[in-house]
Amino acid sequence: MKFFADTADLAEIRDLAETGLLDGVTTNPSLIAKSGGKFLDVIAAIAKLIDGPISAEVTATEAKAMIEEGLKLSDIARNVAIKVPLTWDGLKACKALTARGIMVNVTLCFSANQALLAAKAGATFISPFVGRLDDIGQTGMDLIREIRTIYDNYGFATEILVASIRHPIHVKEAALIGADIATVPPAVLKTLAQHVLTDKGLAQFLADWKKTGQSIL
């Protein structure tokens, strides 16, 4: 499974990229606003740090304007994926942009039927929001299972990009189901490396090493 960082924080992206584990980045208007930078400048800066797909979201709501914004954003760098909402106009924009060879991430997906339409429209990525479904009493991972089954039934190439991830269990369940990508907030991504027994074991090794009075360097 590929890992995307769900952030527009350049320092966080740089830190994660140094691990070699980061395959891409997803942003949205809220994350860009939080970064404090100008939209186009932030996307361009991220593109210099990451070779993988970088999702940049349009702000228009009508298809024609979405396409125009998408074309402008795609000019920033070859690896920019255009993020469009899962609306009727968004699907039209998806079809038009993918026809031009531009990656499209269809976002705000909350049903299997929506995901089916996005795949038919040629989406590169579909972004189902599992955390927001959990928030309203549904089980977000059930949607990932449904999409995986539908896409496998028909051989759709659209990649399932699990979004709105809140905790490590979401990541594990997405991987078990066979999702292609998890886009994860940096704080959650870093917790995947943590385990109390790892910390305990390391502390013991270091204590024993200190007793020897030796040094590797």
Non-local CB neighbours of 150 within 8 Å, separated by 6+ positions:
112, 115, 116, 119, 156
Of 83, 95, 120, 211, the active-site residue reads: 83
- Rg of the chain over Cα atoms, rounded to whole angstroms, equals 19
Q: Is 79 strand, coil or helix?
A: coil
d(CA 107, CA 90): 9
* DSSP letters for 16-72: HHTTT---EEE--HHHHHHHTS-HHHHHHHHHHH-SS-EEEE----SHHHHHHHHHH
Residue type, 194: Q
Is 83 noted as a catalytic residue in this protein? yes
DSSP symbols for 173-200: HHHHHT-SEEEE-HHHHHHTT--HHHHH
Rounded Cα gap, residues 11 and 113, in angstroms = 38
Catalytic residue IDs: 83
